[in-house]
A and B are shown apart, each in its own frame.
Chain A
Amino acid sequence: MNSISNIKAITKRELAGYFSSPVAYVFIVIFLLLTGSFTFLLGGFFEYGQASLERSFFIWFPWLYLFLVPAVGMRLWAEERRVGTLELLLTLPITAWQAILGKFLASWAFLLLALVLTFPVVITVNYLGSPDNGVIFASYVGSFLMAGAYLAISCMTSAITRNQVVSLILSIVICLVLVLIGFPPATNFLTQLSDTAWLVHMLAAFSVITHFEYFTKGVVDSRDVIFFLCVIGFSLFTTGVILRSHRAG
């Protein structure tokens, strides 16, 4: 029980940290503006003439998250190291695990809030037609899990450096690779380049796009859920290893 209350205290502090500065509000406004404009201007929401959010709304998420999620996660550890509070935090009677999990959950909850605030799109599509709300809900679950995977990777890169910009760029690059290896134009290009289709196929299995697509089609497959949870678990575990190796000098 002790560990849960420790995690809760850290999560609470971290969340309060987002909202005590303008960062949180700026982020949410930009996130909503981008999702809105992509959906209605680029996504061709009205042109499709379908009561669905798959191709006009959710298709943008792997790309939007690419920049927005690392921006949320970059400060998690880099800031602690820069200001020196890491020393304070890790000499308190808590384990590094509780600290990692508490921070991760806080940022994930923040992203969930931003995601929930896109609800007007759902209302719009329900007003205009009669979409399959089960599919929309599944897409939201997938989107939330994908945000968690991106975030865990940002958490890991944030632990590497005390410079937030370095952390941001590193996590964008890693996430971009995870997107591209499943992005049809990129995979098609790779198959043309050589005839190792099996290799391209295997790489695509590691892509967030491949797994996210199933959610947007309304399929919640345990394999896709497990994929995202594995990325989260692996990245957070690596975060712990990086923090420990830094302290060992």
Chain B
Amino acid sequence: MIKVNNLTKAFGPKVAVNGVSFTVERGEVLGFLGPNGAGKSTTMRMITGFIPPTDGTVSVGGHDMVNDPIPAKRLIGYLPENAPAYTDMTVEGFLGFIAELRGLNGDAKKKAIHRVVEMCFLESVLYQSVDTLSKGYRHRTCFAQSIIHDPDVLVLDEPTDGLDPNQKHEVRGLIRRMGERKAIIFSTHILEEVEAVCSRAIIIDRGQIVANGTPQQLKQQSDTAGAVLLVVRGVAAPQVVERLSGVANSRRAAIVKEENGKVWARVYPASDNRNGELARNVLVAAGSWQVEELHTEEGRLDEVFRGITLPETGKQRSQTEQQVSV
């Protein structure tokens, strides 16, 4: 549904988005991750046709966003960053206005408003002016606006920003359910959200895609992916490390923490460890120790994220880039 090819945006000398390419098909929920200022919002603004790209193309449902914007825009529902809405209108008036511009009139309009109001729990504020709404309600009003025409493509810029935990859970469920029939792109800072909702995730940093894969694949890039965590009671830490270091298939062993007579130790795999072999080896090595807990770790997304986007590694990368360009 969405094809983004070599998308580039420069504001003067500053390149905000640099050669970004990806596709999103129907039934996919793509998570868009990245630190602040990485170019997430700029990319989304180009996809939705708000700003034209400096280079590259965006096509939505086969329509080019620059040359044939109206049919492309018809397919998209868009929740911009900070969820703007006309503050001088009531929620009902605002949704009605958007519905009319989406080509819904009369009965179809009423039905559409009713549907999104129910989906986004807006009944209680329907006749309230937008500028009197709390942040959560305002956010949901703008979200309701984006799905009022039941679009095939949804572009959501931080859809759970400013919501309380219950609302966040609700919106995530909504996105996941809608993702079965639509192509959805959403950006977020919250990594657990990616695991909960996305079928695929892209990490973008300084305008470039630095990782692209399913949340599972990304997690496997983590240092702790496949490591075995062992918790034992009544054994001294040095002894634990000594015995576990010799386990077959392991690279090294380290103490995570010591507390109340318990020792948390992590054994890192030498190679890919997906079949539980390392866990069995560790259990054998533990022998007669009083084992409280043993499990294989999946790896953590935030570790991967930090590893890829931390300023230090970035500086090195941009230095090498400069050398290349010189």
Contacts and interface: CB of A to CB of B under 8 A. Distances in A.
A184 B178 CA distance: 68
A88 B145 contact: yes
Interface string B3-26: 000000111100000000000000
Contact of A90 (B9, B50, B86, B89): B50
Contacts of A233: none
Given A88-B84, A249-B11, A94 B89 contact: no
Nearest to B129: A20
B85 interface: yes
14 contacts: A13-B86, A16-B93, A20-B129, A83-B84, A85-B85, A87-B80, A88-B78, A88-B98, A91-B80, A92-B73, A93-B70, A93-B101, A95-B70, A247-B52
A84 interface: yes
A196 interface: no
B86 A85 contact: yes
Interface residues of B, number: 36
B11 A2 contact: no
Categorize the interface residue count of chain A: 20 to 34
Interface of B: 9-12, 45, 48-52, 70-71, 73-74, 76, 78, 80-82, 84-89, 93, 97-98, 100-103, 105, 129, 142, 145
Contact of A93 (B50, B73, B105): B73
Contacts of B11: 249
B145 A13 contact: no
A188 interface: no
A85 B84 contact: yes
Given A16-B93, A83-B84, A5 B100 contact: yes
Contact of A83 (B49, B76, B81, B87): B87
A109 B183 CA distance: 42
Nearest to A8: B100
A210 interface: no
A10 B86 CA distance: 12
B157 to A, nearest CB: 9
Interface of A: 2, 5-6, 9-10, 12-13, 16-17, 20-21, 83-85, 87-88, 90-95, 247-249
A121 B133 CA distance: 44
Contact of A21 (B51, B88, B102): B88
Contacts of B52: 247-248
Nearest to B149: A93
B82 A92 contact: no
B45 A87 contact: yes
Contacts of A6: 101
Contact of A9 (B10, B12, B82, B100): B100
Contacts of B105: 5
A88 B76 CA distance: 12
A17 B51 CA distance: 26
Contacts of B88: 17, 20-21
Given A83-B87, A85-B86, A91-B73, 18 more contacts: A2-B103, A5-B100, A6-B101, A13-B89, A17-B86, A17-B89, A20-B129, A84-B80, A87-B84, A91-B49, A91-B76, A92-B98, A92-B102, A93-B74, A93-B101, A93-B102, A94-B101, A247-B51
A88 B86 CA distance: 10
A157 B50 CA distance: 21
A9 B93 CA distance: 11
Contacts of B50: 87, 90-91, 247
A102 B86 CA distance: 16
